[in-house]
Amino acid sequence: MIELVRRLPFRPPLDPSNLYGHLAATAVPGVEEWADGAYRAVVPLPGGPSVVTVGLPEADAVPVRLVLGEAADEEEALRRVRRTFDLDADPLEVDAALAADPGLAPLVAAAPGRRVPGTVDPEAMVLRAVLGQQVSTAAARTHAARLVAALGAPLEAPDGGLTRVFPRAADLVAAPERVAEVVRMPASRLRTLLGVAAALADGVVDLAADPRVVRAALLALPGIGPWTADTVLMRALGDADAFLPGDLGVVAAARRLGLPDAPRALEVRSRAWSPYRAYAVQHLWATGEHAVNAVPA
């Protein structure tokens, strides 16, 4: 067990509200938590499960504490934190691109440096995206927590609320009846969950591939539509241009702002925001009253 403390630099500005807010509000009990003003998560790495603790941003860096199984995992652990907190973004370029649209300019001005929350565990994010179809973020969190409790490998050294590793796709494939027992949702969505798990486990969906390839592979699976595929691109692959024109929150925000709110028309308008449409999603979501939009008190 190796403990390391690091500071990860970023290009200011960085708006922490939706970034930390989203990660905290959707934190899955057992594998993630918000504690003492920091986001904490279990990260499956080659040398074994690790724990990352990420505090609120300072002027130009984010404080990180790593507890690793092996020192060799440091680089990968830090890479995942950078991805999760979008620390490699160029906020001046992103903000300038979005603010060129008068419809988005006020949102950018109100929250410069807004980031796109990612994930420390891309494979888990794919499964969570399916669990999040059509249900509230709170309900999605409940479903994921049940999956973790039933199928997540226990940590040798539980740490606060962090007790398990999020189940691997192969774990679901190996125990489909157990998945059906604990995840109470429509039969079609259960089939989708198991189908996605199988596709991940056998390489039909390869998260290391080009985002366009991943998107096509996901859309080919029954029960995976544009929302789920593009959520995966945005959150798990870090595709800055992923867009969710049919998302309930995005549509509602567009309507409030006087933007086109029909998904098709909104997709057309969004082309002007390319290649930073994922940031537009964040700005649009942030116009609503939702738990994901604020760092917990």
Partner DNA sequence: CACGATCCGGCTA
Partner DNA sequence: TAGCCGTATCGTG
Binding site for DNA (CB under 7 A): 22, 132-139, 142-143, 184-188, 222-229, 231, 244, 246-249, 264, 285, 290, 292
Comparing CB distances to DNA, the nearer of 64 and 292 is 292
C-alpha distances in Å from residue 114, one per residue of 10, 118, 158, 275: 12, 13, 33, 15
Comparing CB distances to DNA, the nearer of 69 and 288 is 288
Comparing CB distances to DNA, the nearer of 139 and 157 is 139
Comparing CB distances to DNA, the nearer of 166 and 227 is 227
Burial of 248 (0-12, 13-18, 19+ CB in 10 A): exposed
Q: How many Å apart are CA 287 and CA 280, to the nearest integer? A: 11
Least distance in angstroms from the C-beta of 42 to DNA: 21
Return the DSSP state at 271: G
* Residue 89: HSE in the Cβ half-sphere, 13 Å Cα cutoff: 34
Least distance in angstroms from the C-beta of 6 to DNA: 28
Return the DSSP state at 275: T
Comparing CB distances to DNA, the nearer of 139 and 213 is 139
First to last CA, the chain: 32
Comparing CB distances to DNA, the nearer of 14 and 144 is 144
Q: How many Å apart are CA 184 and CA 169, to the nearest integer? A: 18
Return the DSSP state at 218: H
Distance of CA 72 to the CA centre of its chain: 25
Least distance in angstroms from the C-beta of 40 to DNA: 20
What contacts 46, CB < 8 A, 6 or more positions away?
Answer: 70, 72, 73, 76
Q: How many Å apart are CA 277 and CA 259, to the nearest integer? A: 14
Least distance in angstroms from the C-beta of 68 to DNA: 30
Comparing CB distances to DNA, the nearer of 64 and 284 is 284
Least distance in angstroms from the C-beta of 103 to DNA: 19
Distance of CA 158 to the CA centre of its chain: 23
Least distance in angstroms from the C-beta of 21 to DNA: 8
Least distance in angstroms from the C-beta of 127 to DNA: 13
**Pick from 32, 72, 71: which is nearest to 54 by CA?**
32
Least distance in angstroms from the C-beta of 189 to DNA: 7
Residue 3 near residue 134, CB atoms below 8 Å: no
C-alpha distances in Å from residue 245, one per residue of 51, 228, 287: 35, 12, 16
Q: Which two tokens stand for residue 202?
A: 């056998």
Comparing CB distances to DNA, the nearer of 50 and 287 is 287
